[in-house]
Amino acid sequence: MQRFNRFIFGFIPGILLPVLFLWIYLSRFYPADLSFFEIIKQLFPGVMLGKLLLLSIMPNLIGVFIFYKQDNFKLGIGMMTGALPYLVTAMFMM
């Protein structure tokens, strides 16, 4: 596992995991029969999208916790850095 203890191996999933989680969450629990991009367009100017972005960061935080417990610090830092754009965007939408 030490071979994969690199920043980029945490950063790429850190960027993609919130989008995947948001897509799964919206396709499963959103009541309308709209596509993912139409739902995002509908929610964009509101506070609700900021809250959904904060919710989508949770899998990244779980991954950071797991990587830190396994002493893979660069993977954890990569995942946390990948979550920062979503966190900053969510804070500006609140």
Domain locations along the chain: 2-93
What is the token pair recorded at 79?
Answer: 């995942």
Query: Where do we find the tokens 């893979």?
Result: 72
pLDDT exceeds 90 at position 56? yes
**Range list of β-strands (E), 1-94:** none
Residue 86 · residue 56 · CB < 8 Å: yes
Query: Where do we find the tokens 């989680």?
Result: 21
Confidence of residue 3 (pLDDT cuts 50, 70, 90): low
Supply the pLDDT for residue 13: 92
pLDDT tens for each residue of 21-37? 999 999 898 888 888 88
Supply the pLDDT for residue 7: 87
pLDDT tens for each residue of 75-85? 899 999 999 99
Supply the pLDDT for residue 64: 92
